[in-house]
């Protein structure tokens, strides 16, 4: 809620400043008028992801869904990008029309520094009458960067700017959820029933990464521009910490234990713990899953593929469209 207020406040300030004429240092020439070096922009885009661990887990979940003749859950292939960006161009490229021959464009004039505060979200799942599934992952991102503007483009195409660069990426406030809801009538009757993996869990984490990008902007006039950026981001979250793990509880009022007590059947928390831990030693708050050997399974086998803890990996190629106001 607080982040939402900050973003709306920043957007409102940008619109107010955009409507008022303020003195500015020129960073580009459009219709013989200087364009402000300071810009504020908002963008939206899409990024491919590398959720191989997660998708491996989803393949296991699909086996149980297929046993119940329920549709499969789609793999996680992409994520939604949003961001609020502030950028400052250090110099003027090209030079103003009245610049003398002795003036030259320095290397520093061709640089911009900026900072993007944004988020990335990935989600998959479905809801039908007999089952629900949901995987959701999000992270707040902080991205300080440096860009180099190629002056040739602005000299030949005054309204256009072409640039490339990059910088470090900080991922924080990572939230991950995994849930399976079982509404079928097959409850622990046969091996492979959906009830074996039913439950919900949540985890958090953080990470560091990097971004490389290229982009181009087009000046609509001396105050507003549109920009398109593309590149690659390395954004892996490996220090996942579980915050909640709970197997789905199912009551059977017509069934009792012989002493008049209602039977409550519930899978161990191990199935949702295994989604993140993927280890025979996986645990959460000192709760272990039972040995599957006792139920005819293999000794020490986790529910999901063994290969280390699940990694939330937002790494991949991306593209982003933004609208910018120049001051």
Whether 112 contacts 213, CB under 8 Å: no
* Average pLDDT value for residue range 60-77: 89
> CA-based angle 90:91:94, to the nearest 5?
145
**Predicted pLDDT of residue 259:** 58
**Predicted pLDDT of residue 2:** 39
What is the DSSP annotation of 128-156?
-SSEEEEEEEEEEEEEEEEEEE-HHHHHH
Whether 44 contacts 319, CB under 8 Å: no
pLDDT category of residue 207 using cuts at 50, 70 and 90: very high
Q: Pick the residue with more confidence: 85 or 269?
A: 85
pLDDT in tens, 114-127: 999 999 999 999 99
Cβ neighbours of 139 (radius 10 Å): 27
Predicted TM-score of the model (pTM): 0.78
> Reduced to 3 states, what is the DSSP secondary structure of residue 105?
coil
* Closest to 17 measured CA to CA, from 114, 86, 83, 94: 86
103 pLDDT more than 90:
no
139 pLDDT more than 60:
yes
- Give the phi and the psi of residue 293 in degrees, each rounded to 5: -60, -30
pLDDT category of residue 104 using cuts at 50, 70 and 90: low
How much of the chain, in percent, has pLDDT values that exceed 70? 68
| Chain mean pLDDT for the chain | 78
In the chain, where are the structural domains located?
2-17+24-249+314-326
Of 12-16, 33-37, 39-43, 111-115, give the lowest mean pLDDT range.
Answer: 12-16
**Predicted pLDDT of residue 274:** 82
**Predicted pLDDT of residue 15:** 44
**Predicted pLDDT of residue 9:** 45
**Predicted pLDDT of residue 68:** 83
Q: Are strands 33-36 and 224-237 parallel, antiparallel or unpaired?
A: unpaired
For residue 249, count CB atoms less than 10 angstroms from its CB and return exposed for 0-12, middle for 13-18, buried for 19 or more. Answer: exposed
Q: What token pair was written down for 187?
A: 């409850």
**Predicted pLDDT of residue 197:** 82
* Average pLDDT value for residue range 36-56: 93
Whether 245 contacts 273, CB under 8 Å: yes
Q: What token pair was written down for 296?
A: 């005819």
Cα(292)–Cα(270) distance, integer angstroms: 11
CATH class for the region spanning 2-17+24-249+314-326: mainly beta
pLDDT category of residue 282 using cuts at 50, 70 and 90: low
| Residue 7 CA: distances (Å) to CA of 42, 46, 117 | 10, 20, 9
312 pLDDT more than 50:
yes
Cα(118)–Cα(318) distance, integer angstroms: 14
């Amino acid at each position: 809620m607080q982040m939402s207020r900050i973003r709306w406040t920043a957007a409102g300030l940008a619109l107010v400043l955009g409507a008022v004429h303020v003195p500015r240092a020129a960073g580009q020439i459009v219709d013989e008028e200087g364009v402000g070096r300071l810009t504020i922009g908002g963008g939206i885009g899409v990024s491919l992801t590398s959720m191989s661990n997660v998708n491996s887990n989803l393949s296991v979940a699909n086996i149980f869904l297929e046993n119940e003749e329920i549709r499969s859950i789609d793999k996680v292939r992409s994520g939604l990008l949003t961001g609020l960006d502030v950028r400052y161009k250090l110099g003027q490229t090209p030079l103003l029309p009245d610049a003398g021959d002795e003036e030259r464009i320095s290397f520093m004039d061709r640089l911009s520094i900026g900072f993007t505060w944004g988020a990335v979200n990935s989600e998959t799942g479905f809801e039908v009458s007999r089952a629900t599934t949901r995987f959701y992952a999000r992270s707040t991102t902080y991205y300080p960067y440096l860009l180099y503007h190629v002056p040739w483009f602005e000299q030949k195409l005054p309204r256009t700017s072409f640039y490339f660069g990059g910088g470090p990426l900080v991922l924080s406030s990572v939230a991950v959820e995994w849930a399976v809801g079982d509404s079928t009538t097959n409850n622990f009757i046969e091996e492979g029933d959906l009830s074996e993996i039913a439950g919900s869990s949540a985890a958090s984490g953080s990470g560091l990464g990097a971004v490389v990008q290229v982009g181009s902007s087009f000046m609509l006039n001396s105050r507003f521009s549109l920009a398109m950026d593309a590149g690659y981001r390395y954004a892996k979250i490996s220090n996942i910490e579980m915050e909640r793990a709970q197997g789905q509880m199912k009551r059977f009022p017509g069934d009792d234990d012989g002493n008049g007590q209602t039977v409550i059947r519930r899978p161990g928390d191990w199935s949702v713990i295994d989604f993140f831990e993927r280890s025979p030693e996986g645990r959460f708050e000192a709760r272990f899953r039972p040995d599957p050997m006792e139920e005819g399974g293999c000794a020490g086998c986790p529910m999901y593929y063994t290969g280390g803890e699940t990694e939330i990996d937002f790494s991949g190629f991306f593209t982003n469209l933004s609208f910018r106001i120049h001051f």
